[in-house]
Structure 1
Amino acid sequence: MAELTVTIDTEQQRQAISDSFAKLDPRYLVKNPVLFVVELGTLIGLLLTVVPGLFGATGSRVYYAIITVLLAFTVLFANYAEAYAELEGEAQADSLRALQTETEGKVLEDPEADLEAIDEDDYEAVESDTITQGDVVFVDEGDIIPRDGTVVEGSASVDESAITGESEPVIRQSGGDRTSVVGGTEVLSDSIKVEVTSEEGESFLDEMIGLVENAQRQKTPNEIAMTILLSGLTLVFVVAVGTMFFFGEYLATFADGFAGLDIAELVALLVALMPTTIGALLAAIRVAGMTRVTRRNVIAKSGRAVEAAGDLDALILDKTGTITTGERVAQDFHPLGDADDGDVVRASYQSSLYDETTEGRSIVKLAEKMNGAEPVTESDQSDAAADEPGSAIEAPRSVSVDLDGADLSEENFVPFSAESRMSGIDLDDGTEIRKGAVDAVEEYATSVPGKLRQESNRISENGGTPLAITVDKQVVGIIELQDELKPGIANRIAEIQKMGVETIMATGDNQRTARWVADQVGIDEFHAEFDPEEKIELVEDIQADGKLVGMTGDGTNDAPALAKADVGLAMNAGTNAAKEAGNMVDLDSNPSKIIEVVGIGKQLLMTRGSLTTFSVANDVAKYFVLLPAILAAAIPGLAVMDVLNLSTPASAVTATLVYNAFIIPLLIPLALRGVDYEAQSGAQLLRKNLIVYGGGGLIAPFIFIKAIDVLFVALGVFQ
């Protein structure tokens, strides 16, 4: 799966630095209470630098200047983290914007004109920006689709690599759920008529660009809750540290050699105790989570959708296209009654020679392979085994039969119809050959072997689809079709289950096929013979139990369920109704992508939780560093807490602020990349979080602050 290309050049990095200074505006920083308080502390430090004796301060101008600079760096580094993350989001928007191309469109004067007979006299070539919603355009082989729309007639192979990054062309055709086309993509073969569904500036790409740009600036519910928590903690620390000033004045009345608490040191203590690390990285984590989703060619309409993906309790998966490849291919031929292998292979080949469906082409290929007895190579076996256990290819049986199709006429081919549910061919000698659904063939045939149902049930129980084949209304055998499992799908579903997400398969297939597929991939629950309308009922039932649910879909009938689900991943190739209903759109139109989205959502929440744990643990450690250093002169008993034995109080304050400022840029790569995430239970993740990030957050300040203090001593600073 290709990813959107995102590049950040030197000029953009300079822009991020410039934005860091622009974000110093108090009207902007007030939205982040932690950094707003740090900025106020910076202003107090600046005042003390200019007027050292202000507020009764007793330190030197140089000391206050150092504190001011370190506090300023703390705010700037925090602003840079957010600016750089937003820069990645803007770069992704630019990468989408670069896909927009202006081209000509062939607007039909008569939208009802026969597609096969359209020539230059039937349309007017105009610039794409003059085409309006509702116009019907003719797009021929080699043409660029001028505007987003719906295929109303015809079928064509379309190159969507500019949008998805995938080189494999896709089929877009009228009817069904694969009608949507995107402006700027190229028709590689055939021709189609497209009804334009968007006005200038309102195309799919325009909408996606807007979503990417706006999503970077919208706080998610969890982030809002975190901001409220940080605001509360900040208020508590402001009150506590403000009270300490008066406590220091009281101690100075009877403690010899103690002149009270310096206002600059109190500011430093406040900044050190506040959760500045997570306060500085919170926005960067949010933006980076959106960026990771976009890089997987998934456009999230809000950060809420990404977070919801991380909190999902249940995931509804369709069988076809999500768990299986969606393409049924011929696996074997089974003779019935008096017929032998040769009779079934010959009849299947003749009835499918002009059948251009995937099933038809696979039947012809298998018949030719069995007649030629093509061997299966070791590489074929190893490739299949690597894709999925138990999927090794078996060599087809050797059947000697005359497959000469020279005497077969395409004019005699009988195409599939929804009414008969069969297709076939009428031979020149009057022989009628038909293949189709077992129950349809039973009604059509005059001679039906007793084992037809038994054999067809056995095939269904093994996950296959049986097609009965008749010659002159006598059933001669069954063609076994298999909808193959997607490579590695069982492992991916197992990973989702390790995350604590229940997996549910909803399919229109029969109970036997659904049960076989569910058993093969380890699905927790499955629903067979499921109508699309029942999906919304399933979503509502799960939500009624207080659970968050996700699902995928691409059709208009999926739209209600996509809108109702907490995470609705719509396919780019699907209908406009589905794309509007979902809160995510997959540019690759790969339904199994939702499994990756869940992982990204989990990683986002894990990253925020891990860095919050690290930040709080940092604050605890800095408390035991600063408090003894500042108050030891007045309260000798606190000396037992001075585990670092720092050289001077001034060195302790400065070293702590140096660490506090520079830990932020050191953690920016982790915030943007996300913590390493493995599919584990909640208890395992919590234990790992506390040990790695909680323990690391406690130990790191002691190590680095002591190292900085040793450096100060070596340089003769604060002596």
Structure 2
Amino acid sequence: MMSKKTPKMTDSLDLGKVFGQSIRRLSPKDLARNPVMMVVGVGTLVTFLLGLTHLAQGEPAGLDFAICAILLFTVLFANGAESVAEARGKAQAGALRATRKDLKARKLDGDQHKEVAATDLRRGDRVLVKPNELIPADGEIVTGAATINESAVTGESAPVLREARTDNSGVSAGTKVLSDEIVVEVTVDPGNSLLDRMIALVEGAKRQKTPSELALSVLLAAMTLVFLIVVVTLVPFGGFVGATPSYSVLVALLVCLIPTTIGGLLPAIGIAGMDRAMRANVIAKSGKAVEVAGSIDTLLLDKTGTITLGDRKATAFETVQGVAPGTLRDAALLTSLADPTPEGKSVVALARDKGSDVEAAEGTEFIEFSANIRMSGVDLPDGRILRKGATDAIRKFVTENGGNYPQETDRLVDRVAKNGATPLVVAEGNRVLGVIALSDVIKSGIKERFAKLREMGVKTVMITGDNPVTAAAIAAEAGVDDFIAEATPEQKLDIIRKEQAEGRMVAMMGDGTNDAPALAQADLGLAMNSGTQAAREAGNMVDLDSDPGKLLQVVEIGKQLLITRGSLTTFSLANDVAKYFAILPALFVTSLPALDALNILNLANPMSAVLAATIFNALIIPVLIPFALKGVQFKPASATQLLRRNLLIFGLGGLLLPFAAIKALDLMLTVVI
């Protein structure tokens, strides 16, 4: 079960297993996946062989073996970074595997059913699930409704309602039915369920390099090749000036000049990005999805549940001329007594707060809301007929009963709508009493979050089915950049395509089958776990909490991934400058005394200079592992501001830190050597 609390890096971390995994990654097959570390690995072998050769010839081999040991630790530290990142996910995978283990299913065959292993189920099979039983496979409820405990997947203990033929019909393997029987149609084959994907993702087994990670890997490989050529040319140059350098020292120079720091940390950064998404209870189907989240230009957000709390609340009663406030208040209460919706309950609460104490008399007949008539109400024993509903529905009701619909009602409706609320008109027989204002409550802090996204260059667009007047009022209050009113699923798809045609990366969320085309079209599609299977399959991320507001957090996680990678790359490249000033003078200072001018660190001797630089090169990787796993602190800013911050902190810091560290190591080595 995943916890909402983010564990510390050492939680559930077996250091022995991490070390063992780092050793196993020394195999040529694993090293070949990372060209930079492969060069370090080859260098380790070369210096070891050079040491053995010098020993056989009776020559000193201490420097050879010292460099060999340091390079070995460099590779182990780099492997350890990736192993630690994966180990954190594997600690979660054990609980997930336990959830899946030994699941059984009642497979339906006509009117009969037989018990089979969950692993034998295939797409299209139907299973019967009874109370207190685990759902054996991902699927859609086709018959019935039930409350389900999804804590094994989401970490939340509060049960949720899932019902057939609604947008909340999707269920996941390993979740528990608490009430009622349901029939579930399996929608995935074995190995492709949400639980299977979660296990694979947290273990890092199926993590593939993202496009920018591949591009950076190619750049690092090219830089490594360039420095390899440069170092090889130093051999004939040394012979020309009469100072052929030690091959072990040349290997040390090569390893110090190539971008070993970012080369060693790059896999860990990618895995940690997916891990951060996982800890936010978001399943990313690939590392690319997390990376894309950091490159989003346009964010499409549904109003209900994302920008607003989702449940409208009665906030005011507006009476027409000649109607006493108490008359409207009491009528609104009576029409809402049997209304089980949050809106209906809020009308009752508001009326009670304003002093209404009426109760339904015996013989009162309640008229439930119907989508056809778009109103509800009561027929009282004394002959009064009370109704509340949409403007056009009440207008029709009043006129059909021989009354007049006053123009003042339209003015009240417009005023309520302009304030961002939804108007409900209340009538008694053929007379309009007034309007109830149902307000969408804007989520706390949402305006500030949109402001942060704007600072990052992300455009926010609210999509709603409300009329343009109401939509404009809510958009202004929430602080979004734009809005689309009276939107249809087709319009969502058209908006995404239009934005993409203009070169923008688009993200959106959805939970229904009608959202599937737009989720598939968007660069980042965040599907709700409570939604339909079609929506979950179409999106490239699934929010286990089914919280529409999570889309904002996902964008921040993606931004942090890109910022972390850029920051550590800048730091790594800046490191090379200091190591250049440490090793290069040590190579040729004997034959070319003028090179001593480059010895700005005033290092004691060539041997200590080489060892100090190489030791620093190895130690900086484990020092930066916490940064790679936790991520560089995220602060909303423009691309220019981020570049300036990177250069100032990680560029200048990466340039100055090695000078101080190498000098300190040199002083310690002079005592030992």
TM > 0.5 between the two? Answer: yes
**Which AA in structure 2 matches 1:240?**
V
Within the candidate set 561, 570, 582, 1:604 is matched to 561
The reply on whether 1:421 has 2:422 as its aligned counterpart is no
- 1:155-304 equivalences under 5 Å are 155-189=145-179, 192-199=182-189, 201-213=191-203, 217-252=207-242, 259-304=243-288
Matches within 5 A, 1:125-524: 133-134=123-124, 136-137=126-127, 139=129, 142-189=132-179, 192-199=182-189, 201-213=191-203, 217-252=207-242, 259-371=243-355, 401-407=356-362, 409=364, 412-446=365-399, 447=403, 448-524=405-481
Contact 1:6–1:92 (CA under 8 A) maintained in structure 2: no
Encode CA deviations 1:190-231: one digit per residue, 9 max, x unaligned.
Answer: 554443434555432123323444566311111110110011
Q: CA deviation at 1:480?
A: 1.1
Please report how far the alpha carbon of residue 609 of structure 1 lies from its aligned counterpart in structure 2 after TM superposition: 0.7
Given that residues 215 and 301 in structure 1 are in contact (C-alpha distance below 8 angstroms), is that contact kept between their aligned partners in structure 2? no
Q: How far apart are the structure 2 equivalents of 1:293 and 1:500?
A: 22
Distance in 2, Cα, partners of 1:9 & 1:337: 67
Counterpart of 1:585 in structure 2 is 542
The match for 1:570 is 527
CA distance in 1, matches of 2:336, 2:103: 41
Q: Distance in 2 between matches of 1:137 and 1:413?
A: 39
Summarize the Cα distance change of 1:181–1:275 in structure 2 as closer, same or farther, 3 Å threshold: same
Change (3 A) 1:200 1:224: closer
Once the 2 structures are TM-superposed, how far is the Cα of residue 638 of structure 1 from its aligned partner?
A: 1.6
Contact 2:507–2:523, Cα closer than 8 Å, also in 1: yes
Q: Deviations over 1:288-338 (max 9, x none)?
A: 111001110000011111111111111111111110111112112222243
CA contact (8 A) 1:178 1:574 kept: yes
TM-superposed CA distance for 1:59, in Å, is: 6.7
SS of alignment partner, residue 481 of structure 1: strand
User: How far off its partner does 1:501 sit?
Assistant: 0.8
Q: Residue type of the partner of 1:276? A: T
Change (3 A) 1:127 1:227: closer
Tell me the CA shift for residue 366 of structure 1. 1.9
Which residue number in structure 2 is paired with residue 29 of structure 1? 31
Q: 1:117 aligns to what?
A: none
CA separation of 1:216/1:204 partners in 2, compared to 1, >3 Å: closer, same or farther? closer
Of 641, 649, 674 in structure 1, the residue corresponding to residue 606 of structure 2 is 649
Cα deviation, 1:477-520, whole Å, max 9, x if unaligned, reads 11111111111111111111111111111211111111111111
Offset at residue 567 of structure 1 (A): 0.7
Partner of 1:97: 97
Residue 670 of structure 2 is matched in structure 1 by 713
Equivalent residues of 1:215, 1:302 under 8 A apart: no
Structure 1 distance, partners of 2:125, 2:623, is: 55
CA distance in 1, matches of 2:283, 2:12: 26
**Letter in structure 1 aligned against 2:54:** P
Other-structure match for 1:378 = none
Residue type of the partner of 2:408?
Answer: K
Which residue of structure 1 lines up, in the alignment, with residue 64 of structure 2?
A: 64
- For residues 9 and 338 of structure 1, the distance between their equivalents in structure 2, rounded to whole angstroms, comes to 69
Describe the SS at the equivalent of 2:14.
helix
| Cα distance in 2, alignment partners of residues 11 and 91 from structure 1 | 7
- Over the aligned positions, Cα root-mean-square deviation in angstroms equals 2.4
Which secondary structure does the structure 1 equivalent of 2:312 belong to? strand
**Residues 1:426 and 1:152: Cα distance change in structure 2 (over 3 Å):** farther
**Conserved 8 A contact 1:502-1:524:** yes
Q: State TM-score, norm by structure 1.
A: 0.88
C-alpha distance in 2 between matches for 1:404 and 1:215: 63
For the 8 Å contact 1:149–1:194, the answer to whether it is kept is yes
Structure 2: 5+ residue stretches without partners: none
- In 2, the alpha carbon distance for the partners of 1:543 and 1:590 equals 25
Indicate the residue corresponding to 2:516 in structure 1. Answer: 559
| Aligned mates of 2:406, 2:617 — CA distance in 1 | 82
Cα 1:243–1:192 shift into 2, 3 Å = same
State the alpha-carbon separation in 1 of the partners of residues 575 and 539 from structure 2. 40
Task: Give 2:538's aligned amino acid.
Answer: A
Q: CA deviation at 1:125?
A: 7.3
Q: Distance in 2 between matches of 1:608 and 1:645?
A: 33
User: Using a 3 Å threshold, how does the CA distance of structure 1 residues 97 and 222 change in structure 2: closer, same or farther?
Assistant: same
Counterpart contact for 1:216–1:290, Cα < 8 Å: no
Q: How many residues align?
A: 667
**Contact residue 507 and residue 524 of structure 2 kept, 8 A:** yes
Distance in 2 separating the partners of 1:66 and 1:433 = 92
Q: Against the structure 1 CA distance between its residues 692 and 519, is the aligned structure 2 distance closer, same or farther, given a 3 Å change threshold?
A: same
Q: 3-state SS of the aligned residue for 1:260?
A: coil
| C-alpha separation in 1, matches of 2:41 and 2:423 | 72
| Helix, strand or coil at the partner of 1:345 | helix
Contact 1:417 1:423 in 2 (8 A): yes
Identify if the C-alpha distance between structure 1 residues 298 and 59 changes in structure 2 by more than 3 Å, giving closer, same or farther.
Answer: farther
Inter-partner Cα distance in structure 1 for 2:502 and 2:82:
38
**Aligned counterpart, 2:4:** 3
Partner Cα separation in structure 1 for residue 235 and residue 584 of structure 2:
13
CA gap of 1:34–1:555, structure 2 versus 1, over 3 A, is: same
Mean CA deviation greater in 172-181 or 316-325? 172-181
Q: 1:317/1:615 Cα in 2 relative to 1: closer, same or farther (>3 Å)?
A: same
- Structure 1 435/546 Cα, relative in aligned 2: closer, same or farther at 3 Å? same
Shift of 1:443: 1.4
Deviation at 1:549, TM superposition (A): 1.0
Task: Give the aligned residue type for 1:206.
Answer: D
Q: 1:488/1:68 Cα in 2 relative to 1: closer, same or farther (>3 Å)?
A: same
| Matched residue type, 1:534 | Q
* 1:226-271, Cα deviation, whole Å (9 max, x unpaired): 110011101111110000011000100xxxxxx4211111111111
Give the Cα separation in 2 of the matches to 1:208 and 1:488.
Answer: 31
5+ unaligned residues in a row in structure 1: which ranges? 112-121, 253-258, 372-400
Q: Secondary structure at the match of 1:405?
A: coil
- In the alignment, the residues of structure 2 paired with residue 109 and residue 37 of structure 1 have an alpha-carbon distance, to the nearest angstrom, of 60
Provide the C-alpha distance between the structure 1 equivalents of 2:206 and 2:235, rounded to a whole number of angstroms: 41
The 8 Å contact of residues 4 and 165 in structure 1, kept in 2 or not, is answered as no
Q: Report the CA distance between 1:12 and its aligned residue.
A: 3.4
Other structure's SS at 2:344 match: helix
For normalisation by structure 2, the TM-score amounts to 0.94
Residue 527 and residue 617 in structure 1: after superposition, are their counterparts in 2 closer, same or farther (change >3 A)? same
The answer on 1:624 being equivalent to 2:575 is no
